[in-house]
Amino acid sequence: MINMQKSRFSVFVMLFVILMTHHSLFSQEVKNDVLYKIVSPSGLVIDNLNSAEDAGHIYLAKDNPKSKGQYWRFMTVRDRYAIYCPFNIKGMDVVEGQGDKFPVNLWGYSRGNRNQHWILKQLPDGSYSISHANSGMFLATSDGEKKGSMIYISSKDMGGWRLEATTMKLPPEGFIGKQ
């Protein structure tokens, strides 16, 4: 009886280790104090061209470590995220409208601005589906995945966005809005 209990416990421990190892292979904790590159399934990254303009757009570009517009910070807001670039303090913002596709704009970052709230859903391969919390629409590109494609939200989920943690240091920031 004791050997059978030890055997069951050993099997339980092995299953637990296997599950945790499998989970850690694909799971990624999104941290508030890390800058990420948001990488499309084709390997291009989201870039805001370091624009200081409100209502500016964001695009797909080739990875360029010197382009500060390619670094994004994810700040938790309850069960959502506000995504912004700390070098120009502009958040990914969507003003809802009509139809199937809306451009993702840059706007002064504020965690209190519901137009800047996003939901991340991790997919089995470790990549993400990223949806706009207000509309439920998904982060997508305007005309396929090519350099210069504008970033939109769409009713179609293209999924497959990877978040690549970088070693870029956070700049000193003058926060806007609710922290």
pLDDT at 102: 87
Residues 22 and 43 in one domain: no
How many domains would you assign to the chain? Answer: 2
Give the residue with greater pLDDT, 4 vs 86.
86
Residues 55 and 19 in one domain: no
Give the residue with greater pLDDT, 9 vs 116.
116
Q: Is 132 exposed, middle or buried (0-12, 13-18, 19+ CB in 10 A)?
A: buried
Please report whether residue 58 resides in a domain: yes
Residues 39 and 75 in one domain: yes
Residues 94 and 151 in one domain: yes
Residues 73 and 123 in one domain: yes
Residues 49 and 104 in one domain: yes
Give the residue with greater pLDDT, 172 vs 124.
124
pLDDT at 6: 56
CA distance 9 to 92: 49
Give the residue with greater pLDDT, 95 vs 176.
95
CB proximity list for 48: less than 8 A, separation 6 or greater: 56, 58, 59, 69, 70, 85, 88, 90, 106
Identify the bridge partners of residue 101 per DSSP, sorted by sequence position.
Answer: 154
How confident is residue 114, by pLDDT bands cut at 50, 70 and 90?
very high
pLDDT at 106: 96
Choose the weakest-confidence range: 10-19, 131-140, 160-169.
10-19
Residues 11 and 79 in one domain: no
Structural domain of 2: 1-28
CATH number, position 130: 2.80.10.50
Please report whether residue 115 resides in a domain: yes
Residues 2 and 42 in one domain: no
Token pair for residue 137?
């629409």
Please report whether residue 170 resides in a domain: no
pLDDT at 4: 55
Cβ pair 71, 85 in contact under 8 A: yes
Residues 41 and 55 in one domain: yes
The DSSP call for residue 19 is: H
Please report whether residue 127 resides in a domain: yes
**pLDDT tens for each residue of 10-63:** 544 444 443 343 333 445 799 999 999 999 999 999 999 999 999 999 999 999
- The pTM of this model reads 0.81
**pLDDT tens for each residue of 57-111:** 999 999 999 999 999 999 999 999 999 999 999 999 998 655 677 899 999 999 9
Please report whether residue 171 resides in a domain: no
Please report whether residue 18 resides in a domain: yes
Residues 75 and 117 in one domain: yes
